[in-house]
C-alpha cells in the first residue's frame, strides 16, 4: 500500500468536529462548496449554516461532524451583507443571472434613496423571488419558474435591523450594507427598494459578511484551505463546535453530572436554577457536553455532543 493511499484512508477515518468559515467564491453553489470542504477533511458529516446563491460570495459557515448539531443556531442567527443594486433594469431572477424583463429611465438621487430606507427596516412584509428554493405543492419554486409556469409566493414577515446606502459608483448603481434576520431575501430587498423609488432594479453583486457568530475576518478561501493539504494543518482552520453557541449561557458541571447528560439523564440543580425554559450550554472543564433546557429544577438534555 502506498504512503499516499494510507494517508488518505487515515484521513477518511479521522473524527473531525468543528466549523470551517469558508469565503465562498462567486460561481460556486453552497452544496458543492460543502462537498469540497468535507472531502478535504475526510469528515463523516457536513452541513452549512445558510445557503448562498452561486452569484453571491462571502461567509459560508460549514459544519463538520458534531458541529452539524449546532447548524440551526447559525441558521437562526443574524446575517450581514454588502450588496449592489443595478437601477433601471429588472430581471426575472432579481439578480444578474436572469433575463431582462423591464427597464426604466428613472434614477433616484442619493437623498431619495436614503429617505426610502426606513420603509425597509424593522419587521416588514417581503415577497420571496420566484427563483427561490421555496416549495410550492412539493416542487421548488425555481424549477417551476424555469419551466415557465406561474409562481406565486405569499409575502412573509422578515426582520431588517439596519440598512444603509454606503456608495453610489454611478447613476445606475447603488451600494448598501444590511443586517437582517433569518429568511430575508436580499434580492427581494433590492427589487422592492427600486420599485419604491419609482424605478426597477436587480442585485448585481452580493457578499455575506456575517452569519451568526461568524464574520468575514474569520473566513478562509478554498485555495488557501486546499493549500494546507493535510489534516494537522487543516485542523488549524477549524473553529470549535461551541463557537456557534456563543450567545447561549454556559453552565459548568462536574464530571459526574456530565456523565449523566451523556447518558440522556437530567441533572438536578440544587441552587440558583435559571428560569424554566432557559437554554443552557453545559460544559465540563473546557469541553462542550450538551445543550440543555432547564425545567425549573433540573437540566434536561436537548442535544448531547460526542466530543
Q: Which residues are catalytic?
A: 53
The rounded distance, in Å, linking the Cα atoms of 177 and 143 is 30
Residue 252 — φ and ψ, nearest 5°? -80, 135
Helix (H, G, I), strand (E, B) or coil at 37: helix
- How far out from the chain centre does Cα 217 lie? 15
Give me 256's grid cell: 459526574
Whether 58 and 49 have beta carbons less than 8 Å apart is answered as: no
Give me 129's grid cell: 423571488
The rounded distance, in Å, linking the Cα atoms of 246 and 262 is 21
* 88 φψ region: left (φ > 0), alpha (ψ -120 to 50), beta (else): left
The rounded distance, in Å, linking the Cα atoms of 206 and 296 is 45
- Containing 21, the helix (H) or strand (E) segment is strand 18-24
- Containing 86, the helix (H) or strand (E) segment is strand 79-87
Amino acid at each position: 500500500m502506498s504512503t499516499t493511499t494510507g494517508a488518505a484512508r487515515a484521513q477518511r477515518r479521522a473524527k473531525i468536529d468543528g466549523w470551517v468559515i469558508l469565503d465562498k467564491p462567486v460561481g460556486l453553489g453552497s452544496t458543492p462548496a460543502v462537498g469540497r470542504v468535507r472531502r478535504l477533511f475526510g469528515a463523516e458529516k457536513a452541513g452549512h449554516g445558510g445557503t448562498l446563491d452561486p452569484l453571491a460570495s462571502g461567509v459560508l459557515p460549514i459544519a463538520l461532524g458534531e458541529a452539524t448539531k449546532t447548524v440551526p443556531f447559525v441558521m437562526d442567527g443574524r446575517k450581514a451583507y454588502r450588496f449592489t443594486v443595478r437601477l433601471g433594469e429588472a430581471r426575472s431572477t432579481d439578480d444578474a443571472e436572469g433575463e431582462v424583463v423591464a427597464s426604466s429611465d428613472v434614477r433616484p438621487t442619493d437623498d431619495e434613496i436614503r429617505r426610502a430606507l426606513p420603509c425597509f427596516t424593522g419587521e416588514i412584509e417581503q415577497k420571496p423571488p420566484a427563483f427561490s428554493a421555496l416549495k410550492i405543492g412539493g416542487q421548488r419554486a425555481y424549477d417551476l419558474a424555469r419551466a415557465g409556469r406561474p409562481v406565486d409566493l405569499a409575502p412573509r414577515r422578515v426582520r431588517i435591523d439596519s440598512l444603509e446606502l454606503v456608495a453610489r459608483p454611478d447613476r445606475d448603481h447603488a451600494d448598501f450594507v444590511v443586517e437582517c434576520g433569518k429568511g430575508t431575501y436580499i434580492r427581494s430587498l433590492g427589487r422592492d427598494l427600486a420599485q419604491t423609488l419609482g424605478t426597477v432594479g436587480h442585485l448585481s453583486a452580493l457578499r455575506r459578511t456575517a452569519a451568526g457568530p461568524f464574520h468575514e475576518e474569520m473566513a478562509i478561501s478554498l485555495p488557501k484551505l486546499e493549500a494546507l493539504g493535510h489534516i494537522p494543518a487543516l485542523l488549524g482552520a477549524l473553529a470549535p463546535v461551541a463557537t456557534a453557541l456563543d450567545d447561549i449561557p454556559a453552565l459548568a458541571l462536574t464530571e459526574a453530572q456530565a456523565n449523566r447528560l451523556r447518558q440522556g439523564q437530567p441533572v438536578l440543580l440544587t441552587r440558583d436554577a435559571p428560569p424554566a425554559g432557559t437554554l443552557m450550554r453545559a460544559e465540563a472543564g473546557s469541553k462542550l457536553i450538551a445543550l440543555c433546557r432547564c425545567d425549573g429544577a433540573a437540566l434536561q438534555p436537548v442535544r448531547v455532543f460526542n466530543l
